[in-house]
Amino acid sequence: MKIYLNDYQTETLEKAESLFFNGNGLIGLRGNLEEGYYDHFSTNRETYINGFYETKDIHYPEKMYGFTPTGETMISVIDGQTTLITIGGEQFSITEGSISKSQRYLDMEKGLTVRSLLWTSPQGRQTKITISRLASFQYKNLFSMKIDFERVNHEEEIELTTHLNFYPVRTIDKNDPRMSHDLQKISIKDIDLAKNRCKFGTEYSQLEAELAWSIDNQTLSQTIEAERIVIRTKLEGNSYQKNLSYSFQQPEHAGIDSNFADLVQQQEQFLAEFWQSAKVKIKSTEMLEESVNYSTFALLQSLGSNGTTSIAAKGLSGSGYEGHYFWDAEMFVFPVFLHLNPTLAKQLLTYRYHILDKARENRQLFGYQTGALFPWRTISGTESSPFFEGGSAQHHINADIAYAFIQYYRYTDDLAFIADCGFEVLLETARVFSEIGYLKNDQFHIDKITGPDEYTVLVNDNYYTNQLVAYQFEWINRLAQIIKEQSPETWAELTERLQLQEEELQELALFADKMALPFDKEKGIIAQDRDFLNKGLWPYSQEETKYPLLLNYHPLTIYRYQISKQADAVLALMLFPAAFDQVTIAKSIAYYDEVTTHDSSLSYSTFSTVYSRLGQVEKGYEYFLKNARTDLDNSHKNTKDGIHTASMGGTFMTIVYGFCNLQVINDELVIDPHLPAEIEEIDFYTYYKNKKYRIYANHHEHWIEQETEGE
């Protein structure tokens, strides 16, 4: 399985920096051209460590009580990709001399990127150059690069110069609110050239890390400059290898002296086992199999798997959204690994438990007396959103996280994890909703929060949020009963530690039963919130409107109308299909499709899934295509800022929940496929209750069969 980007056009080079990043969940290096940067395209030459960030004060012209005082930003650490190549005194460049036989690709089975070309220098010397790179899954601290040379018509001396750059080269769009406009830098603490070590850290967050390097061949010199360490090397044979090790929260530089061939072998072994369960096979008229499996691989490269990190909106491929973790992790990425590798999915939930105490502190910012409120955007666990209306007011993140814990239990039966971690998260996040909600006219209401639609803020009874909260309340009672019956001692410890009384459980059950779920009887559709359908329609035609709206219209203009950034109420239709009849689903999605701009990359997959379940496969497939190749085709024109991890997760979800319509009914896996004409067959694996199943569907038959591990 390979992805090719062979040309050197501006758009290709910019998006390749994101698409061809090398990552392993701990470190991520953007797919930059090794020889440096060029003026004819914008570049972000950066290397990231998952969980490594700097803090900054957030300045408000008019600050009010409870506003987030500080924010966090994932910053580039020392970037060691730059490798200048000099052949017989001529420096290699794509703009000097000529290039032929060029190809550049990502090999998803070997887990490396390869760039090969034949360079004819201005003086006519021809040299074949092959550059292979990987971020090791065996040694999460390690990045390795190998450059092979073949002198075609000369025997000239070759010299390589490595730059260990302290500070990144970045191109920032000052008008894009999704990008950080502050260029925060690491601080160099200590350099030991004799031991090939450089300690660095951050000024305000007080984090420390260390870079170690190992370069083969003959070292001519190592010098320290103001913004970099420069290492000159003379090529002694036909190949050059550079290993970079980033030590952060672990003491050793494991594998620092590893041979590249050994690293590739280990990488292949790891991925052979991974793809045995994770590969999705699709026969189609489009390159859908490529899109789906690339998405899974990119997510794997970005997924924090140590229980103390998660996955950012741009993964480890770019600094868009400042490297923050959002609700995307639980609602769009978590399902991928829940099906393909539940152990990795569990680590995402472990991260949320890890920051639960900070979530308890966070709810105090809002003046809440009980429970925990997870931050809307974060790295360490503190809130980093300065825009509360469209950010931290999105309290649905509490219910999103709870939903993920519930789904994990439904698919794994891992009651020990729920008893140790999950139940506490469910209860503490629920307590915020029970505190701010209220009973009136025999209904439980939750007012003045923001749902997933960021074009409609501070609403009353957001349908999506209320539906999820009711589900959470119900499952707290269900899990309480299961733990009580199966592990009385654990239950006694939980109730004491969490100060949980039977009366609170009864109250949550009542609130679930009385939950307000707005419905417009005249239109026969669910209402996004109590007031959404009372607003006027967007006054401009599609041709007159400038997209995305958030970059072209004042927020107040957007808030006044029935205009939605992404699927909101439709998300409820997707997550709870059994809660609605087909007529309501059909009328609701048709209505909201008319008022949704799909400015968010999360939107298309949700609409696609619901349309496909309805049997409206043409519409479902149209939206699936718009989502599936978001980054490969650079359809949003911002892939250069990083991949869209949630969009990638949505691609997988549409395949599984939409076209195959996989559901759990009465504790059994059930499928009811609706394949578009363009897809001939779908074949994939999933895990359910510690067993592996193969799921197959074409236009004539479908089945689910249990597999024996290792098949």
Residues with active-site annotation: 454
**CA distances in angstroms from 434 to 222, 424, 585, listed in the order given:** 62, 15, 29
10 Å Cβ neighbour count for 226? 6
Contact 23, 301 (CB under 8 A): yes
**CA distances in angstroms from 42 to 174, 224, 425, listed in the order given:** 14, 27, 43
CA nearest neighbour of 106 among 25, 18, 215, 11? 18
Identify the three-state secondary structure at position 467.
helix
**CA distances in angstroms from 314 to 94, 328, 569, 644, listed in the order given:** 28, 10, 25, 5
The DSSP secondary structure of 566-588, one letter per residue, reads S-SHHHHHHH-GGGS-HHHHHHH
Distance CA 462, CA 448 (A): 9
**CA distances in angstroms from 74 to 186, 318, 319, 384, listed in the order given:** 11, 10, 7, 11
CA nearest neighbour of 421 among 349, 472, 488, 489? 349
Distance CA 403, CA 412 (A): 14
CA nearest neighbour of 531 among 589, 453, 594, 471? 453
Distance CA 334, CA 350 (A): 12
Q: Where are the beta strands (DSSP E) in 354-506?
A: 438-440, 443-445
The token pair at 575 is 């997550």
Backbone φ, ψ for residue 570 (5° rounding): -65, -30
Contact 137, 267 (CB under 8 A): yes
Distance CA 272, CA 9 (A): 33
Site of tokens 């083969």: 216
Site of tokens 């417009």: 520
**CA distances in angstroms from 643 to 220, 601, 634, 694, listed in the order given:** 39, 11, 9, 29
Residues 6+ apart with CB under 8 A from 258: 136, 139, 142, 144, 243
Instruction: For residue 148, give the amino acid letter.
Output: D
Distance CA 590, CA 356 (A): 39
CA nearest neighbour of 278 among 697, 695, 685, 661? 685
Contact 263, 138 (CB under 8 A): yes
CA dihedral for 489, 495, 496, 501, sign (positive or negative): negative
Contact 189, 206 (CB under 8 A): no
The token pair at 560 is 């006044």
Task: Check whether the bond before 342 is cis (ω within 30° of 0).
Answer: no
10 Å Cβ neighbour count for 170? 15
Distance CA 6, CA 23 (A): 21
Exposure string for 107-133, b = 16+ CB within 10 A, e = fewer = bbbbbbbbbbbebbbeeebbbebebbb
Q: Largest alpha-carbon pair distance within the chain?
A: 88
